Amino acid sequence: MGFIVALDGPAGSGKGTVTKEVAKKMNLINIDTGAMYRCVTLLMIRQNIKLDELEKIEKILNKIDIQFKLESEKQKVYLNNEDVSLEIRTQKVNELVSPVSTIKIVRDKLVDLQRKMAESIDVIMEGRDIGTNVFPNANLKIYLDATPEERANRRFKQNEEKGIKIPYAEILENVKYRDYTDSHREIAPLKQAEDAIYIDSTNMTIEEVVEKVVEEIEKVRK
Q: Which residues bind ligand DC (CB under 6 A)?
A: 11, 33-34, 37-38, 97-98, 101, 127-130, 178, 182
- Of 36 and 215, which CB lies nearer to ligand DC in the complex structure? 36
Measured from the CB atom, the residue of 38 and 109 that comes closer to ligand DC is 38
Q: How far apart are CA 215 and CA 173, in angstroms?
A: 34
DSSP, residue by residue, 35-64: HHHHHHHHHHHHTT--TT-HHHHHHHHHH-
State the nearest-atom distance from the C-beta of 128 to ligand DC, in Å: 4
Cβ closest to ligand DC, residue 14 vs residue 28: 14
Closest approach of ligand DC to the CB of residue 144, in Å: 11
CB-CB contact of 28 with 22 (8 Å): yes
> 140 pairs with which residues across the strands?
5
In the complex, minimum distance from the CB of residue 218 to ligand DC, in angstroms, rounded to a whole number? 25
Q: Which is nearer to ligand DC, 178 or 212 (CB)?
A: 178
Task: Look at residue 124 and give its three-state secondary structure.
Answer: strand
To ligand DC, the closest distance from the beta carbon of 81 in angstroms equals 21
DSSP 8-state code for residue 89: G
Please identify, using beta-carbon distances, which residue of 91 and 218 lies nearer to ligand DC.
Answer: 91
CB 188 to ligand DC: min, Å: 7
Characterize the bridge pairing of strands 140-145 and 74-79.
unpaired
How many residues does the structure list for the chain? Answer: 222
CA atoms of 22 and 25, how far apart (whole Å)? 5
- Compute the CA torsion angle 71, 23, 150, 203 (nearest 10 deg): -140
